[in-house]
């Protein structure tokens, strides 16, 4: 089965700008020609945008201009006219208060740029965490033919003979310092070994997860997710992507043809199999909202249950993306899902072929990296969605990164009112806390701390770490880096800042976590909870102006993807009118 192609040739969207002899047509063409473009490039061929998140402030995407050149080669070869343009780049490692606060801004930028310009199709150049969902969201809202190509992960980090996984090693080493197991000098030495090539995080963090989600959804060519940034095959992938988008325009193969509900189901199951980031939950819900697919947290729990995590990558396992690529990459994982009856085989990808056709011949070259099911890191790898009186709309946990002995747990809450309160008290040996307690942090949800920062994996108190304890149950309305690990319950919804029950938890309350039965329970009488909520007032002030005010007014809860209420759905490609 292949995609049903449209009739060709037909009049393209760009023809409205370039395809005539009127004053306006001449105006549009003539100004473009100041770039040295020959006249025959405006002969009705597809005009393809290259939507680039390149930025030196987004180090993970700093090599994307080179890839854009490769994409251009492919577009020219296939008979298209490439035009590269920048959009807001959400660099995870630098942006404050959080890159996530700007995901929706970038998505708006992409959407408006695609609609307002004479584009027939677009190549989305993505890499660092939020750049991928932002561009998919924007493209989905316009729904012109679109294909993504990722920048690819960094090479493995190595420090004194050991792999250094982006982010994962940072969290571990900072805990080792608090536990007195590592010196600051060694930490600084390790810094030099962490990021040794262009590319995105080399762990199965959010960037690698979202590259995998893009491939599983069918929005990138098969094999795109894992090729290292500096491998020549990454350039080949960009080149082939450029060729392919021209044909997609001719076939009128759009995001809404590809990102169907069955495609999202494939992506959710793939996330369980790779031990992917919890951030994928929020991003896929938001993308689905843009393309008009009804996807819910319950879908995540239902589809992810009993998916074994077979990709042995940090933070859940031991290897890194470089080895995942050498082992065969994501096609091997998707093939495994297909063989296990866990894949909607007939979903169409950007290639115009089915996902099954793309992966059925994939081979696993390293069974230590892509594990057989009987050796899976966990047999229950899908994201668990917990509900109860502490999270009526749901909270999420990544089982592959959690400690099995803590998945069923009852403990005394130690509450931090916000991230500043946590930072102020966590290192105090007088803090009344031990490893049986449940650490709770409030006011880090979408509105509570604009953009919902990745602080949910609160570091443990030093006095607990010094006992050799590595994990405790932690609960918050924050997110967690895809590179992080632990028994960390995230995204509790509704968030504390809007009066979710998390807001009224007090130190000394008891909390019950029951992951097998998907329960998150605050062991306080309902009347007492109601009484506390009646007395509650939000500590979070509305921003005075600017984008922060827009964000605060319109961002939705994590349980529906934290998109803006007015951006849900697709608004199409029609431009209301031309001003010229």
Binding residues for ligand FES (CB under 6 A): 60, 92-93, 128-129, 166, 200-201, 205, 207
- Dist. CA 367–CA 235, nearest whole Å: 27
Minimum CB distance to ligand FES, residue 397 (Å): 21
In terms of CB distance, is 153 or 308 closer to ligand FES? 153
Minimum CB distance to ligand FES, residue 365 (Å): 25
In terms of CB distance, is 203 or 351 closer to ligand FES? 203
Task: Report CA 182 to chain centroid distance, whole Å.
Answer: 32
- Dist. CA 351–CA 465, nearest whole Å: 50
The answer to whether the CB of 283 falls within 8 A of the CB of 561 is yes
The answer to whether the CB of 267 falls within 8 A of the CB of 211 is no
For 29, 440, 499, 550, the CA distances from 494, given in Å and listed in that order, are: 51, 15, 7, 19
Minimum CB distance to ligand FES, residue 217 (Å): 19
Phi-psi region of 333 (alpha: psi -120 to 50; beta: other; left: phi over 0): alpha
Helical (H) or strand (E) element with 297: helix 297-304
In terms of CB distance, is 129 or 477 closer to ligand FES? 129
Minimum CB distance to ligand FES, residue 219 (Å): 18
CB hemisphere CA count around 310 (13 angstroms): 26
Structure tokens at 272: 């369980």
Owner of token pair 């995590």: 309
Sign of CA dihedral 556, 140, 281, 209: negative
408 strand-pairing partners: 514
476 strand-pairing partners: 441
C-beta atoms surrounding 118 within 10 Å = 21
Minimum CB distance to ligand FES, residue 59 (Å): 7
- Residue by residue, DSSP assigns 261-288 as HHHHHHHHHHHHHHT--THHHHHHHHHH
In terms of CB distance, is 53 or 347 closer to ligand FES? 53
- Dist. CA 359–CA 369, nearest whole Å: 18
Minimum CB distance to ligand FES, residue 542 (Å): 30
Minimum CB distance to ligand FES, residue 228 (Å): 13
In terms of CB distance, is 134 or 307 closer to ligand FES? 134
Closest of 291, 289, 116, 93 to residue 207, by C-alpha: 93
In terms of CB distance, is 80 or 205 closer to ligand FES? 205
- Dist. CA 563–CA 546, nearest whole Å: 18
Minimum CB distance to ligand FES, residue 456 (Å): 16
For 315, 387, 406, 474, the CA distances from 403, given in Å and listed in that order, are: 13, 20, 6, 12
Minimum CB distance to ligand FES, residue 292 (Å): 29
In terms of CB distance, is 99 or 291 closer to ligand FES? 99
Minimum CB distance to ligand FES, residue 419 (Å): 19
Q: What 3-state DSSP class applies to 55? A: coil
């Amino acid at each position: 089965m292949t995609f049903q192609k449209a009739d060709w040739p037909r009049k393209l969207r760009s023809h409205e700008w370039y395809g005539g002899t009127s004053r306006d047509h001449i105006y549009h063409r003539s100004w473009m020609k100041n770039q040295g473009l020959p006249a025959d490039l405006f002969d009705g061929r597809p005009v393809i945008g290259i939507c680039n998140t390149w930025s030196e402030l987004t180090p993970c995407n700093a090599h994307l201009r080179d890839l854009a050149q490769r994409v251009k080669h492919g577009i020219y070869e296939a008979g298209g006219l490439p035009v590269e343009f920048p959009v807001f780049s959400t660099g995870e490692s630098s942006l404050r208060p959080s890159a996530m606060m700007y995901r929706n801004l970038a998505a708006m930028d992409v959407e408006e740029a695609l609609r307002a310009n004479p584009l027939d199709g677009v190549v989305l150049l993505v890499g660092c965490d939020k750049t991928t969902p932002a561009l998919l969201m924007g493209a989905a809202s316009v729904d012109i033919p679109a294909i993504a190509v990722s920048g690819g992960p960094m090479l493995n980090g190595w420090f004194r003979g050991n792999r250094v996984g982006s982010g994962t090693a940072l969290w571990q080493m900072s805990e080792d310092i608090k536990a007195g197991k590592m010196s600051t000098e060694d930490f600084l030495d390790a810094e030099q070994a962490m990021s040794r090539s262009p590319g995105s995080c080399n762990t199965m963090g959010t960037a690698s997860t979202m590259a995998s989600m893009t491939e599983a959804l069918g929005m990138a060519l098969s094999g795109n997710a894992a090729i290292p940034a500096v491998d020549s095959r990454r350039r080949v992938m960009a080149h082939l992507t450029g060729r392919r988008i021209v044909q997609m325009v001719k076939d009128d193969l759009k995001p809404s043809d590809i990102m169907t509900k069955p495609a999202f189901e494939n992506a959710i199951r793939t996330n369980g199999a790779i031990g992917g980031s919890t951030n994928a939950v929020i991003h896929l819900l938001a993308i689905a909202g843009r393309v008009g697919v009804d996807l819910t947290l319950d879908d995540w729990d239902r589809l992810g249950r009993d998916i074994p995590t077979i990709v042995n990558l940090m933070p859940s396992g031991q290897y890194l993306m470089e080895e995942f690529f050498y082992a065969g990459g994501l096609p091997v994982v998707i093939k495994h899902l297909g063989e296990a009856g866990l894949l909607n085989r007939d979903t169409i990808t950007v290639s115009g072929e089915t996902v099954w056709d793309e992966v059925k011949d994939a081979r696993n070259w390293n069974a230590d990296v892509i594990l057989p099911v009987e050796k899976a890191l966990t047999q229950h790898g899908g994201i668990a969605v917990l509900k109860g009186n502490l999270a009526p709309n749901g909270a999420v946990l990544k089982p592959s990164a959690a400690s099995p002995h803590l998945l069923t747990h009852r403990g005394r809450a130690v509450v931090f009112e916000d991230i500043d309160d946590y930072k102020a008290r966590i290192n105090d040996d007088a803090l009344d806390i031990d490893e049986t307690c449940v650490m709770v942090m409030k006011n880090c949800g979408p509105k509570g701390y604009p953009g919902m920062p990745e602080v949910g994996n609160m570091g443990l108190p030093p006095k607990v770490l010094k006992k050799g304890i590595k994990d405790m149950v932690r609960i918050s309305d924050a997110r967690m880096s895809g590179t992080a690990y632990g028994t960390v319950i995230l995204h509790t919804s509704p968030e504390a800042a809007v009066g979710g029950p998390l807001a009224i938890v007090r130190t000394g309350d008891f909390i019950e976590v029951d992951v097998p039965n998907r329960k998150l329970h605050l062991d306080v009488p309902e009347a007492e909870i109601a009484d506390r909520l009646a007395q509650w007032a939000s500590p979070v002030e509305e921003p005075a102006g600017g984008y922060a005010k827009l964000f605060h007014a319109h961002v939705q809860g994590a349980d529906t993807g934290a998109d803006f209420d007015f951006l849900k759905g697709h608004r199409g490609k029609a431009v209301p009118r031309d001003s010229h």
